[in-house]
Amino acid sequence: MKELSVNHLLGIKYITKNDIDLIFETADHFKEVINRPIKKVPSLRDITIANIFFENSTRTKLSFELAQKRLSADVISFSAAQSSVKKGETLIDTVNNILSMKVDMVVMRHSNPGAAYFLSKNVNASIVNAGDGAHEHPTQALLDSYSIREKLGEVAGKKVVIVGDILHSRVALSNIFALQMQGAEVRVCGPKTLMPKHIESLGVKVESNLRKALEWCDVANMLRVQNERLDFSYFPSAREYSQQFGLDKELLDSLSKEIVVMHPGPINRGVEITSDVADSKQSIILDQVENGVAVRMAVIYLLASKIK
Amino acid sequence: MNPKVLLTSKEVDIILHRLACQLIEKHLDFSNTLLIGIQPRGKFLAERIQQIIKTEYGIEDIPLGFLDITFFRDDFRRSSKTLEANKTQIDFLVEDKKVVFIDDVLYTGRSIRAALTAIQSFGRPAEVELLVLIDRRFSRHLPIQPDYRGRQVDAINDEVVRVYWSEDGQDDSVYLLQQTEK
């Protein structure tokens, strides 16, 4: 009988290819479940999950909550803005207080890289990382790979380019780990100022010309320009960014083959991609969102089954 | 101890034909009836029965689906292993239909309890019946009995009743095994 090799999902780099395969097989079943007339199963009736978000999030938080509710778990959600964190409570204290209310699993987003790892070493619960600073965002990478697998049949052998702010992006890092583990080839493309210095050491090539990158790839993952993380001017203006690294319909149609366009959301329409690209048939942005629920159900189900 | 043969290939064949006839006797042309194989072990039995009704009695187009009950089981986190799911494939609504659950072995009744809950996700059936190849009586945990049974077997809890199908790469047969031989 197959099971995950880990008790927490802290990042893609802590799991194996077998784990990813198991998560995807399980997600296939949950995708069928969420398309039934009644989209709910009673598996996690006796599990309580806390969603702790120290950073803003709409999509990820909703997606996790929905996944948990579709599995019949009890859910408490909590945003740092309205909490005692503002009064000076430490992370471990906050989480331990929540755990004393008999919570089995914690889904956390935090602005510090390693926050989820730190928590997993210090509290007694199964931890799911929903984004820790510029480090990892494993469920996003899993749903991205799952969506590629669904659209193109498999991930192995595919060429994927990640475009945009690689420096601040946890989505980029988790995607690089996940795609390479499954045998895909990855390149990154973006302004030099937003490219980490030693990115090549991860085995990815840097391409500074968007057209060349797109001509090479099967899939383009267009990252969001994260204005909230740009503490100084990394590029002159949004307009200049979109001219060099934005994807519009004209560029997409001029390519020699049809590529798949992805975006982790939320989209800055007209900056990373234009509206007609986002809404085109080559875009699988909304499939990513649907798959997000199925993949998160799979992750939570598989982790919860290891809670004793 | 050597495994004991409960049913040979020939006996399985005769029983399948009888079960098919019993279904026809009750459901006639199957215009309002659906067959649902319970995953994973009920799948082959359900396919066989559908095939017999079709080829030997000329009743075509009987809707057949497969229901996986993994997410509805009552032993989640009680066993030490992760419960692994199988494919559910029900391409029709069960609302107001007569549903026949088909499974290979009826033992504690817990799988059927889970299936009764799971099927509600696809609508409210008019009625639900149960067809099993092997009925292990005296071992029920719940008040569930089959409407159609192939063979009734008395087995103690240490023993396992195993059904093999030619689809598995073995002759159709039913064996009684000791727990360790499973």
Contact B82 A37 (CB under 8 A): no
Beta carbons of A136 and A156 less than 8 angstroms apart: no
* Same domain assignment for residues A142 and A74: no
Among residues A173, A177, A213, which one has the least CA distance to residue A196?
Answer: A173
Closest partner residue to A37 among B87, B88, B121, by Cβ?
Answer: B121
CB proximity list for B92: less than 8 A, separation 6 or greater: B34, B63, B65
* Same domain assignment for residues A186 and A257: yes
Q: What is the pTM assigned to this prediction? A: 0.90
* Same domain assignment for residues A182 and A275: yes
Structural domains counted in chain A: 2
Chain A residue numbers touching B124 (CB-CB < 8 A): none
Interval A94-111 mean pLDDT: 91
Chain A residue numbers touching B71 (CB-CB < 8 A): 29, 33, 41-43, 71, 301
* Same domain assignment for residues A117 and A244: no
Confidence class for position B126, pLDDT limits 50, 70, 90: very high
pLDDT at B47 over 90: yes
Contact B71 A1 (CB under 8 A): no
Interval B33-50 mean pLDDT: 94
Q: How far is CA A140 from CA A63, A293, B30, in A?
A: 11, 11, 46
Ligand-binding site membership of A114 (annotated): no
Ligand-binding site membership of A60 (annotated): yes
pLDDT at A53 over 80: yes
* Same domain assignment for residues A115 and A144: no
**Average of per-residue pLDDT values in chain B:** 91
Q: Which of A33, A40, A49, A71 to mutate against chain B (most B CBs within 10 Å)?
A: A33
Among residues A115, A118, A107, which one has the least CA distance to residue A134?
Answer: A115
* Same domain assignment for residues A97 and A111: yes
Q: What pLDDT score does A82 carry?
A: 64
Q: What pLDDT score does A227 carry?
A: 78
Structural domains counted in chain B: 1
pLDDT at A1 over 70: no
Q: What pLDDT score does A56 carry?
A: 83
User: Which CATH number fits the domain that encloses residue B119?
Assistant: 3.40.50.2020
Chain B residue numbers touching A2 (CB-CB < 8 A): 82, 84
B54 belongs to a structural domain: yes
Chain B residue numbers touching A36 (CB-CB < 8 A): 121-122
Amino acid at A35: N
A300 belongs to a structural domain: yes
Contact B83 A305 (CB under 8 A): yes
pLDDT at A84 over 70: no
Lowest mean pLDDT among A70-74, A175-179, A192-196: A192-196
Separation in Å, CA of B112 to nearest CA in chain A: 15
* Same domain assignment for residues A142 and A87: no
Q: What pLDDT score does A204 carry?
A: 95
Residue A131 CB: number of other CB atoms within 10 A? 25
Beta carbons of A52 and A91 less than 8 angstroms apart: no
Q: What pLDDT score does A31 carry?
A: 96
User: Which CATH number fits the domain that encloses residue A67?
Assistant: 3.40.50.1370
Q: What pLDDT score does B138 carry?
A: 86
Ligand-binding site membership of A70 (annotated): no
* Same domain assignment for residues A104 and A155: no
Q: Which of B66, B75, B84 to mutate against chain A (most A CBs within 10 Å)?
A: B84
B150 belongs to a structural domain: yes
Contact A305 B122 (CB under 8 A): no
Q: How far apart are CA A159 and CA A166, in angstroms?
A: 17
Half-sphere exposure of residue A132, counting CA atoms within 13 Å on the CB side? 21
Q: What pLDDT score does B155 carry?
A: 84
Interval B98-124 mean pLDDT: 94
Confidence class for position B29, pLDDT limits 50, 70, 90: confident
* Same domain assignment for residues A258 and A297: no
* Same domain assignment for residues A149 and A279: yes
Q: What pLDDT score does A35 carry?
A: 92
A40 and B CB contact within 8 Å: yes
B50 belongs to a structural domain: yes
Lowest mean pLDDT among A167-171, A229-233, B106-110: A229-233
Q: How far apart are CA A127 and CA A9, in angstroms?
A: 6
A3 belongs to a structural domain: no
Residues in chain A: 308
Identify the domain containing residue B74 by its residue range: 9-156
Give A159-190 as a DSSP string.
EEEEES--TT-HHHHHHHHHHHHTT-EEEEES
Identify the domain containing residue A186 by its residue range: 138-285
A2 belongs to a structural domain: no
Q: What pLDDT score does A162 carry?
A: 97
Interval A42-60 mean pLDDT: 91
* Same domain assignment for residues A19 and A86: yes
Highest mean pLDDT among A87-96, B68-77, B140-149: B140-149
* Same domain assignment for residues A299 and A246: no
B179 belongs to a structural domain: no
Q: What pLDDT score does A83 carry?
A: 66
Alpha helices in chain A (DSSP H): 17-33, 59-70, 91-99, 115-122, 138-152, 170-181, 210-216, 238-245, 249-254, 275-278, 285-304
pLDDT at A78 over 90: no
Q: What pLDDT score does A229 carry?
A: 72
pLDDT at A228 over 80: no
Q: How far apart are CA B176 and CA B170, in angstroms?
A: 16
Separation in Å, CA of A40 to nearest CA in chain B: 8
The DSSP element (H or E) to which A260 belongs, if any, is strand A260-262
pLDDT at B25 over 70: yes
A26 and B CB contact within 8 Å: yes
**Average of per-residue pLDDT values in chain A:** 92
Q: What pLDDT score does A265 carry?
A: 86
The residue to which tokens 């099993």 are assigned:
B132
Lowest mean pLDDT among A202-206, B4-8, B44-48, B78-82: B78-82
Q: How far is CA A132 from CA A176, A209, A261, in A?
A: 16, 30, 25
Helix/strand/coil (H/E/C) assignment for every residue in A99-154? HCCCCCEEEEEECCCCHHHHHHHHCCCEEEEEEECCCCCHHHHHHHHHHHHHHHCC
Write the pLDDT tens digit of every residue in A258-308.
999 999 988 999 999 999 999 999 999 999 999 999 999 999 999 999 987
User: What percentage of chain B has pLDDT greater than the value 90?
Assistant: 70
Closest partner residue to B71 among A41, A46, A302, by Cβ?
Answer: A41
DSSP for residue A5: S
